Structure 1
Amino acid sequence: MQPPSRRTFLALGLLIAAGGALTACTDQHDAAPGTPAGDHRPDPDEPVRLRAVAATDTLLAGYDALLPQSPQLQSLRAEVAQHRAALAAGLPTTPTPTPATGPLPTTTSAVTTPAALATLERQTAQSRLADLGAASPRLARLLASVSASGVLHAVALGDDAPAPAPAPSPSATGDPATAFQDALSAEHAAVYGYGVVGARLPDAQRTDARTALAAHQARRDAWQRLLTGTGATPAPAAAGYQLPFPVTDAAAATRLAAHLETRLTTVYADLVATAPTTRRTLAADALRECALRATRWGAAPTPFPGLPDQTTPSTPTPSTPSTP
């Protein structure tokens, strides 16, 4: 990779701006306009939440089956318990069990090894995505985040099989232009960011940076094609960007890669909420991939990848490029 031009800086501010705008939109989707305070109407998300909680209870039982001989799994189980609490928010104290969407071939009785538990984690993570289209924007964002966390758990348990690719999305019922323009801008920033990363890494790590760069270029191109297909003009890369911190050595480059991927998980978690329902799996797939790469670059683990309760660095701001 070539060293960056002196005129060019990294646009991590774009990631933050996009994530903030998407979050603001997301928080406005769930309350019906004109609903009086205290008007307790049936929660349309309740069937989805019940299915998600049932799947999580099966997963927790799998952890409990292994904990006596594998106490080191307690930290992962604690995250799954946090998932259950978030998914059960607003449900009755003792919800009636509801079958999870999609088959979960690995039963609790079959969970006798960490490998079997990893399989159950991955199957459960995939089952979360089946309900994305039926959920409200906020719940869909939560489901996508919990699904990404489940894939991270599966990897931590030793399952390194690639996750299934999302099914081709049917024609959208809404306009994806605004939501995907933000994602495209974030990917423009990531593509340049990995140029900075690769220029500072030793040869042994540079292959990882090239692989990540190629993945972000593919995402960028996919969003450009999607936008063009809707008649929108894809947003171009910004003229000037600013690094969130100096990148002068391999350690800083590694931190920058982790920072890039972590910021993108926020963008894609919010994209799940703002995209048309038929496009949500595309955003959830991107969220999962960014969460995996963030972990590989050393980002601090979180039970809810992409959600605003995670610990994040301070917000950088765009800058006008300097002259040589």
Structure 2
Amino acid sequence: MEQHQLLPSASRPALPRAAATLPGRVRRGLTAGRLRRLAAAAAVVAVLTGCGVRMETPSPTQPVPDAVEAARRAAVQDVVDVEAQARATIAALPADAKGDEKRAVERKRDNLQAILDDSTAHLAALGGQYVSGLLDADGVPLPAEPTPADAEPGSQQTVDRLVQSYARARGALATQEDDAVARLMASVAVAQLTRAQTLAAAGGDTLPETDAPASAQVPDALPEGVDVDADLLPLIAAEDAAGYAYEVLSARVTEAERVAARTRAAQHRARAEAWARLAEVDGTAQDPREVAYALPDGVLADPVDTSGLHALETGLATSYATLVAEVAPELRTAMLDLLTDSYGAALTWGATPVAFPGLPERASEG
């Protein structure tokens, strides 16, 4: 085995001549001088640091939201504004009202509290306000965004704020990139509009006009993204069944109710026909319409009980909320209008108001 041995001192490589000729104290002096220079540099850094001159990375900044997040924050802004408006109006209600005035105040308070409860659920469903976790120059956490706008107390102002929020959501549906968020926004908008209608009716306030049509209409062409078998055939049958139920009802109620029932029956029958033509099943073997349908409980009772009719309208509201997420963006407002119409009719026939119309999976929220 090969072994490595130290070379004799005479055979070791010699130091460079310049270094070899330096006295030992000079070589030690070079090392000491280098240390002194390093110590001096460290002292300068310490002085500069003490004077406020620091080598730091830039402070963190808030990220720029993408289109979906920007739309979400806009929806959240409307919700927090509605919430602040309702809260301010409740706080301004008279505490010493008596008699009829007291009863009117209590009705208004109940409606405003329902708006607050809805807003809490809406804010949670939309993801809440954005909290960056960053600090301002004084080390105080930045507030959650968006912050609510200033609110002037008043039931009319609350009605105005609710309708404004509905109108903004209706206008934003066509540009929302996320289908699920669009469906949620549509549901929130419908809840806000119907709360505005109820509050205005209770307080004698004026309901502002919107861009929504007086009567919701089925589109002129078959919407892209809609599945005929899964979506339209059940919808056609549901619309036709609702029309049949109202026709039967119209023969068993008072004259005033008869006019309303016949009008509603005609609307449902017309929508069933329009959807059947768009799906190209009108009069074919695929046409799901029947001669007669099972009726809601109470329609044939004596006396007539109309409370079961709201289930038909609630089911249609669910169908149209689903279509909001499935049709092309430019047709979402048409589905919103049909959702609004169906949910409003459900309330007319006795349905309990909910925070998320057309979204049965959120029935426990709000």
Match of 2:71 among 48, 66, 81: 48
Instruction: Give the corresponding residue for 1:88.
Output: 127
Q: Does structure 1 residue 219 correspond to structure 2 residue 277?
A: no
Which ranges in structure 1 are unaligned for 5 or more consecutive residues?
A: 1-41, 100-106, 313-324
Distance in 2, matches of 1:112 and 1:274, equals 39
Mark the structure with the bigger radius of gyration: 2
Residue 153 of structure 1 is aligned with which of 185, 190, 195?
A: 195
Amino acid of the structure 2 residue aligned with 1:97: P
- CA gap 1:208/1:296 in 2 versus in 1, 3 angstroms: same
Task: Tell me which amino acid in the other structure corresponds to 1:82.
Answer: A
Is it true that 1:116 corresponds to 2:157 in the alignment? yes
- Residues 58/233 of structure 1: CA separation in 2 closer, same or farther (3 Å cut): farther
Residues 1:207 and 2:259 are matched in the alignment = yes
1:174 aligned partner: 224
Cα distance, 1:191–1:79 mapped onto 2, change above 3 Å? same
Matched, 1:138 2:180: yes
Unaligned 5+ segments in structure 2 are 1-64, 94-108, 133-142, 201-205
CA distance in 1, matches of 2:118, 2:155: 16
Q: Which of 91, 94, 97 in structure 1 is aligned with 2:146?
A: 97
What is the one-letter code of the residue matched to 1:306? G
Matched residue type, 1:125: Y
Q: How much has 1:150 moved relative to structure 2?
A: 0.8
Q: Return the TM-score normalized by structure 2.
A: 0.61
Distance (whole Å) between structure 1 residues aligned to residue 248 and residue 186 of structure 2: 30
SS at match of 2:307: helix
Displacement, 1:249? Answer: 3.0
- Determine the C-alpha separation between the residues in 2 that align with 1:248 and 1:239: 17
Residues in 1 aligned to 2:295 and 2:177: alpha-carbon distance in whole angstroms = 37
Matches of 1:68 and 1:55, distance apart in 2:
20
Deviations 1:107-141 (A, max 9, x none): 744x4321221122112112112222324222111
Question: What's the secondary structure of 2:350's corresponding residue?
Answer: coil
SS of 1:48's equivalent in the other structure is helix
Match of 1:127 in 2: 168
Residue matched to 2:11: none
The residue aligned with 1:165 is: 212
Q: Is the 8 A contact 2:298 2:306 kept in 1?
A: no
> In structure 2, which of residues 348, 351, 356 is the aligned counterpart of residue 299 of structure 1?
351
What percentage of residue pairs aligned between the two structures are identical?
32
Q: What count of residue pairs does the alignment treat as equivalent?
A: 261
- Which of 267, 279, 291 in structure 1 is aligned with 2:331? 279
Query: Whole-Å Cα distance in 2 between the matches of residues 249 and 274 of structure 1?
Result: 39
Q: Deviations over 1:258-313 (max 9, x none)?
A: 1111111111111111222222111111111111111111111111111114669x
Q: 1:183 to 1:248 in 2, by over 3 A?
A: closer
Aligned partner letter, 1:69: A
Provide the residue aligned with 1:12 in structure 2.
none
205-214 vs 78-87, which deviates more?
205-214
**Structure 1 residues 66-85: aligned runs within 5 Å:** 66-70=89-93, 71-72=109-110, 73-85=112-124
Tell me, in whole angstroms, the C-alpha distance in 1 between the residues paired with 2:84 and 2:129.
Answer: 23
Deviation at 1:85, TM superposition (A): 1.2
- TM-score of the superposition, structure 1-length normalised? 0.68
Deviation at 1:201, TM superposition (A): 2.2
Work out which structure has the larger RCO, using CA pairs closer than 8 Å and 6 or more positions apart in sequence: 1
* Aligned mates of 1:177, 1:132 — CA distance in 2: 21
1:270 pairs with 2:322: yes
For 2:210 and 2:313, the matched residues in 1 are separated by 18
* RMSD, aligned CA: 3.5
